[in-house]
Structure 1
Amino acid sequence: MKEEILRFDHVTCVHRERTVLKDINLHIFKGEIVGLLSINYQGIKELLDVLSDNVPIHYGYVYFDEQLVNCYYREGSSRNKVSVIKKQSSLAEDLTVCDNIFALRRGFKKYVINSGMLKKQFRHFVDELGIDLQGDELVKDLSVFDRKLVELIKAVIAGTRLIVIDNISDLFSKAETSRFQELLHYYVNKGCAVLYISNHHEEVFQICDRVMIMENGQILQVLERQSFIRENIEPFYLSKWQNLERPGDLREKNVLLEFDGVTCERIKNLSFSVYRGECVILQDTDNIVTEEIVDILRGKKSLVGGHICLGYGEYSEKRRKNYLREGIAFIDKNPIESMVYKEQSYYENLSCLLKERKSDLLNGRKIKKSIIKEYISRTGEDIYTKNIMELSEASLYNMLYYRVHLFHPQVVILIQPLSEADMYGRLHILHLIKELTKKHITIIILTVNLSDTLIVANRLITIKKGRVSGEYKSDEFQKFEQDAITPENIW
C-alpha cells in the first residue's frame, strides 16, 4: 500500500480578495516525483507557503504524513518536514559547508560544535553520493551547482519527507541538470518524495512519475507517465506560441563579429562568426564561459590569445571599454533588477542609451515628442509614466527592450533572457526579440539551457570546455526537441 506524504483536499486560498489557489486537489506518495508544470507563476508562492508552513487557508484540508495539519476552520499546526530548494540560495555564504548543513538546521541544539565529528558525518554522505565536496569549504567559494547539492544534502540530513524543487534548472548546464536529477532519484528510492516545479514540459516529462498542469492557481489536468506526449499539453501550452513569426533566412551573410582563436581563463581557442542581422544562440553547455564572454565584450577582461573583429576592424581592448559607442548593447539576466532606473521616468529609462550619441539633443522637446510619437503604439500610455515601479513586469520588459530598439546598436547581447520568466513571460520576451530582429539588429543569445530560444534563432553554436563543439542551422533544430520547443513543434 502506498504511503501518503502530502494531500491537498479542495484547498482554496484568497489573498486581498483575490483567489490565488482555487480548489486544489493533489496527493504525493513516498518514493515518487510529482511534477507541477506551471504555465504562469500565480499561486506558486501560496502553494509553497501552505505545504511547508501551514499558513491559513480559505477552504479545504491539508494532510501531511496522513495527519490533518491544516484546515479552513482552525489554524494549522507547526511546520511540515518540507524543504524548498529555490534559485535564491538559503545558505549562509560566509560559513562552511558543514556549518550550513549541521549547525544551521532546525533541531540542532548543541552549544559546542565538534567540527571533526561533523566533517566525518558529512564525508559519509558525499562518499555515498560519489560527489566531490569538502566540508570545510566556504559556501561563497562554491559553484552554483555545488550550492544546490549542499541544500539537497542538508534537506535529507534534516529528515525532510518532501523536497520541493522550484524552477532551478536554469542555473545548471544540461549535464548538471541530469546529475541533480539522478541524486533526486537516489533519495526518492530511499524514501523521500519530490514535488518538481518547472515551466518546461520537456524537463518534467524526463524525471516525473505524474505531472499536474497548473495555470492561474488552478490545476487543469493531471497526466500519468504513459500520457507524457506533446499532444496532451498542446491545448494548454504550445498553441499559445503559434502567433510568433518564424525566423526568416538571411539575405546576405556579412560577418559582423568574429572570435578568432580567443583564449582567456576558461575560454580555450574559441572561434566563431556572427553575421549581420542574424539571431544566433551561444549555448554554454558546461556553464563556465558565459560570464567570461560578457566580460571580454565589455572590456573588463583582457585576452590571453586570439583576436576579436567587429565590422571591418579589430575590436581591441580600448574599443571594448567603450562598447556602447562601438554599437554593442547588453540586456542582463533578470534585467528588471539590474537595468531599471527606478528613480527615473519611463521616457528617461527608454531614452537613456541615446546619451551616448545625442546628449545635447536628448532633452529637446522636438526629440522627445518624436520618440513618444514613434513608440506610443508599442508602449501605450506607459510611456508617460513617472513612477515606473507602478508598472507590470511585462511593461518593464517592454521598456528595456525598446530602449535597445531605440538605440539601434549593431549587436545586442542577451544574457539568459528567459531564465526568470514563466511561460507567458517567455512568450512576451520572444515577441520583443522579434521586434529587434525586424529592425535588423544582430542578436547574440548567451544561454546555458536552450529553453525556448530556438524559436527565434537562425543558428545555434554550442560551446563545451571553452571551445566550439557544434554548429546547427535552424533546419537542424529538431535534434534538440527533447530539450526545448523547436520551430517544428509549432509551425
Structure 2
Amino acid sequence: MSISPVLALRDVSKSFGSIEVLHGVTLALEPGTVHALIGENGAGKSTTMKIMAGYQLPSKGDVQLDGAPVRFNSLHEGEMAGIVIIHQEFNLAEQLTVEQNIFLGRELKRGPLLDKAEMRRRTRDYLDRVACNVSPDALVSSLSNSDKQMVEIAKALSRDARVLIMDEPTAVLTKRETDVLFKQVAALRAAGTAVLFTSHKLDEVAEISDHVTIMRDGAVVHSGPSSDITEDEMATAMVGRDVSDLYPAKPGVERGAPEVLSVENLSVPDFARNVSFSLRQGEILGLGGLIGSGRTEVMEGLAALRPASADRITLFGEPVQFKKPSDAQRAGLCYLTEDRKLRGLLLDRGMRENLTLQNLHKFGGFLIDRNAEENALTEAIGEFDIRAGSRDVRVGNMSGGNQQKLLLAKIMLSEPRILIVDEPTRGIDIGTKQQIYAFLRKLADQGHAIIVITSEMPELIGLADRVMVMRLGEVSGTLNAGEITEDAIVRLSMGLRAEQMPMTA
C-alpha cells in the first residue's frame, strides 16, 4: 500500500530571468523514508531543495504539503510547517555561542526572563545525540568545520521536523561522525520523519536511502528504489557518460626523475613535529591520516601560511626559507586551500576578480588591463570547463564543483612547479572529480610535482604514486606504489607498523 507524501513537488520549473534552471521536476517525500537526491554540481539539486524548504518560489508547478498546494514565502514559513533544511554552507551566527545558535529566534522563557538553565540542558542533550563534545558556551567561530556541521545537525534536531532536508551533511565529517549522523537519521526515519538526503558519496547514498532521484541539467533523469540501481549506474545517470574509469592511469614516476623538494624535520607549533619527506618531479604524493593528524597544518607551515621551523628545506636543489606565502609562490610552490568558500574565493565578487586577484602584477599592477583579465578568464573557462550561466555571476552563486575549478584556475595562474592541493574534491560530484583527477595527472605528466591531502581513501589509492600517512602530528609511515592498500593506510593511521599487522587467511 502506497503512503501519501508529506511534501511533494509537482511539475515544478524555476527560471532566473530568461534562464530556466529547473524543468518540470516531480519529487515526493514519504514519511518514515530517506529519499536521496543526487546529481552533478549545477544539476539543480540546491534549487529544488530551496523550493521545497520555502527559500525560493517555483516559477511553474506546485509545492504540495499533505496533498494540498501550499506557498511558502520564506524559510520561516517552511519551518513553521515542519520543514527544516541543513544547508551545505553553515547557517550559523559565528559570534554567538552554540546554545544561542540552537535557540536563536526560539528562545525559551520563564516569565519575562530567558530560561537559560533549560536551554543549556536541552542544548547539551541535542549535542549528546550527535556525540558532539563542544561546550554550549563555545563561540561558533572557535569550532572546527566538522563540529560546526554537528551543531547544524543538533540545531535541526531541536526543531522536531516533519521533513528534514540535508544538503551534503557529511562533506566535512569524519567516518565516525558520519556513523553517528546515520544513527540519528535511522531514528528519525523510525519516528516517521521524511528525510531528503544529498551527497556526492554514492556509497553513503546506497547505504542510507530507500529511494533515489537523480537529476541532470535541471531535470529528473531517474527516480526509483535505491535497491534497483547500482552505484555505477547512479554515476552514469548523473553525468551522462561512463565514469567507471574514475582515476587516470598511473604511468609511474620516471626512473631517475630529479628530487624537487626535500624537507627535513619540519615542525609546526601545537600541530606537527619533525616531519621529513621528499618529492620528485612528475610525482603525486598522497598525504593521508585522520582529521586532526596535522596533515593540513604541516603543509600550511611549508607554504608559510602559519609559523613553522625546519632543519632544512631544499627546493630544486637550493636551500630555501619562506617567511610569507608570496615567497613560496615566487619560488614555484603554491598551496590550494581546503576551504574554498572562506579562504580561497571572494564569494560576493565575480569570476574575473577571483581569477586574477593573486596575480594582479601580471595584469598591469597599478592600472589593471581589463581586456587581459577577460582573456585570461576566457582561457580558464575553456581549459577548466567552468560552467556558469554568465561570466558576471557572483562566485557564491556557482556550484561547488565550478567554484573548485575556478580556484584551480586561479592557482595555476601563478605557474606553480610544485602544487599542494588540500581536499581537492570535497563536496563535488563524481563527474567533476573525474575532471580534476585527470587535470592533476596531466600536470604530473608534464613534470609538475603534486602533494594531495585527502580524507578520501579511494582518492589516495587511485591517484597517488606514493602515500605518506600522518598520525598525531608525526609521519607514521610511507607506502610505495606496490604497497598502497586501504588496510595499510588504515593501520598506519592507527599507529600500527607492517610487522604488527595480523596475518590474514
**TM-score tier (shorter):** 0.7 to 0.9
SS of residue matched to 1:324: helix
Does 2:464 correspond to 1:457?
A: yes
Q: CA deviation at 1:3?
A: 5.8
Which of 250, 256, 259 aligns to 1:255? It is 259
Q: CA deviation at 1:157?
A: 1.7
Q: 1:11 to 1:325 in 2, by over 3 A?
A: same
Map 1:68-83 → 2, pairs under 5 A: 68-70=68-70, 78-79=77-78, 80-83=81-84
Counterpart position of 1:14: 14
Does 2:242 correspond to 1:239?
A: yes
Does 2:433 correspond to 1:433?
A: no
SS of residue matched to 1:246: coil
More displaced 10-residue stretch of structure 1: 338-347 or 45-54: 338-347
Percent sequence identity is: 19
Give, as a single letter, the amino acid of the residue that structure 2 aligns with 1:185. Answer: A
Q: CA deviation at 1:216?
A: 1.5
SS of residue matched to 2:157: helix
Q: 1:153 to 1:18 in 2, by over 3 A?
A: same
For these two proteins, the number of residue pairs brought into alignment is: 463
Counterpart position of 1:443: 450
Does structure 2 conserve the Cα–Cα contact (< 8 Å) formed by 1:164 and 1:195?
yes
Q: Equivalents in 2 of 1:75, 1:377: separation in Å?
A: 37
TM-score by length of 2: 0.75
More displaced 10-residue stretch of structure 1: 304-313 or 432-441: 304-313
Does structure 1 conserve the Cα–Cα contact (< 8 Å) formed by 2:333 and 2:419?
yes
Which of 284, 287, 290 aligns to 1:282? It is 287
Does 2:302 correspond to 1:297?
A: yes
Does structure 2 conserve the Cα–Cα contact (< 8 Å) formed by 1:172 and 1:448?
no
RMSD: 4.5
Q: Equivalents in 1 of 2:394, 2:121: separation in Å?
A: 52
Post-superposition Cα deviations, 1:19-65, rounded to whole Å, max 9, x if no partner, equal 4333333332333222112123232232122211185435544333x
Q: CA deviation at 1:77?
A: 12
Give, as a single letter, the amino acid of the residue that structure 2 aligns with 1:104. Answer: G
Counterpart position of 2:119: 118
Q: CA deviation at 1:90?
A: 1.3
| Contiguous gaps of at least 5 residues in structure 1 | 484-491
Q: Equivalents in 2 of 1:403, 1:125: separation in Å?
A: 41
Q: CA deviation at 1:438?
A: 3.3
SS of residue matched to 1:239: coil
Does structure 1 conserve the Cα–Cα contact (< 8 Å) formed by 2:266 and 2:298?
no
Q: 1:148 to 1:396 in 2, by over 3 A?
A: closer
Counterpart position of 2:46: 45
Q: 1:459 to 1:220 in 2, by over 3 A?
A: farther
Q: Equivalents in 2 of 1:445, 1:76: separation in Å?
A: 38
Counterpart position of 2:136: 135
Q: Equivalents in 1 of 2:416, 2:156: separation in Å?
A: 47
Q: CA deviation at 1:245?
A: 4.5
Counterpart position of 1:330: 335
Map 1:51-450 → 2, pairs under 5 A: 51-53=52-54, 55-64=56-65, 66-70=66-70, 78-79=77-78, 80-105=81-106, 112-128=113-129, 130-233=131-234, 235-236=236-237, 237=239, 239-240=242-243, 242=245, 245-252=248-255, 254-264=258-268, 265-287=270-292, 289-303=294-308, 308-312=313-317, 314-318=319-323, 322-333=327-338, 349=356, 352=359, 379=382, 389=392, 401=408, 407-419=414-426, 421-449=428-456
SS of residue matched to 1:169: coil
Q: Equivalents in 2 of 1:125, 1:350: separation in Å?
A: 42
| Contiguous gaps of at least 5 residues in structure 2 | 491-505
Does structure 2 conserve the Cα–Cα contact (< 8 Å) formed by 1:211 and 1:224?
yes
